[in-house]
Amino acid sequence: MNILLVGGGAREHTIAWKLRQSPRVDELLVAPGNAGTARIARNLPQTKANDLEGIVQATREHKIDLVVVGPEEPLVLGLVDRLAAEGITAFGSSKAASHLEGSKAFCKELCQRYGIPHARGASFTSRDDARSYLKEFDQVPVVKASGLAAGKGAIICETQEEALQTIDRMINEGAFGEAGRTVVIEERLSGREISVFAFADGRTVVPMVPACDYKRVFDGDEGPNTGGMGSFSQPAWYDAALAETIRTRILEPAVRGMEAEGRPYRGVLYGGLMVTDDGPKVLEFNCRFGDPEAQVTLPRLKSDLADILWAVATNSLHEVDVQWSDQACVGVVMASGGYPGEYDTGFPIAGLGRVEEDALVFHAGTRLDEEGGVVTSGGRVLTVAALGASLNEARGKAYRNIQHIHFSRCHYRRDIAAPSQGAVGE
C-alpha cells in the first residue's frame, strides 16, 4: 500500500515512524514533512498541508492508496471530502465531522443534545447577549474563541471585568479573527486534565491509551500557553473504571450523536477532559491525534497502524484487534528560544547521532540545509521520547537523551512527568 501522510510536525513524524513498521506499507510520502520524516519517507516539501489541490495531484502522481491527514486545518477545510470526490481513500474526519473541533459552539451543543458531561456554558455572536449572560453567570468564567486558534483561544479569566473585556476583544475587535467572532462562555472546571483518544469509523469506537499534556511554556505550569511542551502516557490515576466511564459516557455518545446529526465521525476523536469530583467532563473535542500526545501514545501501540487507519477509512474497524503495551512513555519538547512568541530559526542541531538506539527523537520544526545538516525551522523543534517499564524510567531516559542534543537558544521543560506534576503514584 502506498500512503501519503499530510503534515510536518512531530505528530506526523511519529505516525510515519509507526507506519514504517508495517509490512503492508510500500511507498510512504509526507507532505510537506520535515528533516525527520526525510530519513524514513519521501518528503514533498512543496506540498503544504493546506494545499488541497496539491495533495490531490500528488495522490495521482504517486499512485497513493491511502491518505492520512495529521493536522486539523486541512480536515476543517474539507480535504477528506475533496479526496473522496476523487475516489481516494483517506483517514481523517470529513468537513462536516471536523466541525466538532472547528466550532467550540457546535461542540457544546452536541454535548448538550446528547447528554455528554461538559463544562456548562453557552455561545454568542452578539456582544450584548454575551454580556447579559455573563452578568447572570454564577462565577468568573472561561471565555473561548469558538473557531480554530492553535490552542491559544481559551482565556481563563480572573475577574468579571477581564471576562467582559475578553468578549469585547473577541467579538468587536476581532482579536482572534473570524475564530473569535463567536465566543463560548463556560464554567471554569478544576480537577485533573487528560487527553483521551479513540479511533472511530462512523459506528465502531475503539479507545486508545490516554496522555497528559503540558500546555504552559515554563516549569511549574508558568508562562503562556503553547501547542504543548511535553506529555506522558499515562497517569496512575487513570484506572479501568475511569476509562470505562469515558468510553460509555463521552466517546461512544459523541460518535452516536455525530451520526444522528448527519455528520458520521470517521478518524481520531480526541477529547480534552477535566476529571472533576463529579467525574470526567469535556472541555473540547478535536478531530485528530494530539501533538505532543501522539509522540507518547503511538509508541505504545502494538498493533499495525496501517491496518487500523485503513480499517477506519473503509468502515471496517470492528475487524481489527487494537492492542497497547503496558509500558510508560514520556516525551519532552525541545523548543526555539522565544517560543511561543518570536524566535529565530536556522540554527544547526548537534548530537542527534549520539542518542541511545531505542530513544525516540521525533522532529517538528527541522529542515535539512544545503550540506544535509539538520537545522531548526520552527517553534517546537523536536520531541525526545522514551518508553520504560515505569514513568520514572521513561522520564529518566528521555531527559538523559536530551542532554546529547544541542542547538542555539534551545529550551525545554524540566518537569515533564515529574511526581510534583501529579504524574506518578497518585
Least separation in angstroms between residue 159's CB and ligand AMP is 16
Are β-strands 66-69 and 89-91 bridged in parallel, bridged antiparallel, or unpaired? parallel
Alpha-carbon gap, residue 282 to 111, rounded angstroms: 8
- Give me the residues that bind ligand AMP (CB under 6 A), please: 119, 142, 144, 151, 153-154, 156, 186, 188-189, 193, 215, 272, 283-284
291: partner contacted, choices ligand GLY, ligand AMP, none (Cβ within 5-8 A by kind): ligand GLY
142: partner contacted, choices ligand GLY, ligand AMP, none (Cβ within 5-8 A by kind): ligand AMP
Interface characters, 272-311, with ligand GLY (x: CB under 6 A): --------------x---xx-x------------------
Residues of this chain, 4-23, that bind ligand GLY according to CB under 6 A: none
Helix (H, G, I), strand (E, B) or coil at 25: coil
DSSP category for residue 267: E
Least separation in angstroms between residue 162's CB and ligand GLY is 24
Give 72 or 81: the residue with its C-beta nearer to ligand AMP.
Answer: 72
Least separation in angstroms between residue 213's CB and ligand GLY is 4
Of the candidates 279, 299, 281, 280, the one whose C-alpha atom is nearest the C-alpha of residue 289 is 299
Least separation in angstroms between residue 265's CB and ligand GLY is 17
> At which residue does the C-alpha cell 505516525 appear?
15
CA dist list (Å): 163 to 134, 156, 179, 216, 308: 8, 8, 17, 21, 43
Least separation in angstroms between residue 293's CB and ligand GLY is 6
Please report whether residue 78 would count as binding ligand GLY according to CB under 6 A: no
Single out the residue of 151, 191, 223, 388 in contact with ligand GLY (rule: CB under 6 A): 151
Rg for the chain (alpha carbons), in Å? 21
Amino acid identity of 62?
H
Are 293 and 208 in contact, with CB atoms under 8 Å apart? no
Of the candidates 281, 64, 326, 325, the one whose C-alpha atom is nearest the C-alpha of residue 188 is 281
Enumerate binding residues for ligand GLY (CB under 6 A): 151, 213, 228, 286, 290-291, 293
